[in-house]
């Protein structure tokens, strides 16, 4: 398990998919979500799954990717993420000499639904906050990150690990301020407007080391990706 995850983590990081959660058995996730959100465990209660997220680092590899495309698809970032994850996982499986299937769950494929925020919390990436926040908050990146996918491996069992719950980040004052921004932008949603999106995200964490560039933020606001 360690060898394949080491390869996956290193290669995904090169593509800006630089947050990899700790491995958990699919059964741990399936046991706490409703049937509509459950994912395939390939018939084994201990099939391993991992959660993948990105930070601002995804922007440069993504731009390089679309520069080399012919026809740009409707949702190019989703295409980029799907292509990179499938290529990296397939290569890692081959590199360690395993014979196994894998399945990728994303938030844009509604046929194979998965509640990424729940997996992200279970794998110790970020704590999910219920309303009025309704957002996952990373201890380092705050809200300047995005969950991208969950990958399930057939034939690889999750190790017995004690996985810590992500730390509480938000204070009452932060939650109140975020709620105020949400209420002020009820008509269109704060996440659709670059100015309100930056204000909302900066309530938790700010600075050039975590914030998206203006170009990247505008893209996410327009595409909701």
Helix (H), strand (E) at residue 49: strand 47-54
Helix (H), strand (E) at residue 135: strand 135-137
SS3 assignment, position 219: helix
* Cα atoms in the 13 Å half-sphere on the side-chain side of 23: 20
Residue percentage of the chain with pLDDT more than 90: 78
pLDDT of 43 over the 80 cut:
yes
Q: Output the pTM of the full model.
A: 0.94
Q: Residues, the chain, total? A: 225
* Cα atoms in the 13 Å half-sphere on the side-chain side of 208: 0
Name the pLDDT band for 141 (thresholds 50, 70, 90).
Answer: very high
pLDDT of 1 over the 90 cut:
no
């Amino acid at each position: 398990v360690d060898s394949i995850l080491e390869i996956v983590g290193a290669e995904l990081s090169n593509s800006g998919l630089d947050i990899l959660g700790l491995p958990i058995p699919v059964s741990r996730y399936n046991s706490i979500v409703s049937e509509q959100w459950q994912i395939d465990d390939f018939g084994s209660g201990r099939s391993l799954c991992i959660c993948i997220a990105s930070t601002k680092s995804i922007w440069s590899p993504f731009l390089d990717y679309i520069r080399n495309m012919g026809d740009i698809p409707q949702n190019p970032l989703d295409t980029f993420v799907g292509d990179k994850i499938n290529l990296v996982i397939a290569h890692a499986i081959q590199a360690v000499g395993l014979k196994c299937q894998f399945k990728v769950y994303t938030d844009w494929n509604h046929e194979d639904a998965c509640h990424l925020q729940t997996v992200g919390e279970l794998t110790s990436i970020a704590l999910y906050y219920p309303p009025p926040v309704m957002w996952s908050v990373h201890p380092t990146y705050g809200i300047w990150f995005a969950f991208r996918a969950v990958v399930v491996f057939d034939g690889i069992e999750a190790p017995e690990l004690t996985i810590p719950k992500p730390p509480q980040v938000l204070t009452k004052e932060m939650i109140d301020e975020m709620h105020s921004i949400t209420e002020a932008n009820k008509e269109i949603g704060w996440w659709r407007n670059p100015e309100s999106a930056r204000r909302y995200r900066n309530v938790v964490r700010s600075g050039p080391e975590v914030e998206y560039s203006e170009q990247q933020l505008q893209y996410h606001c327009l595409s909701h990706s």
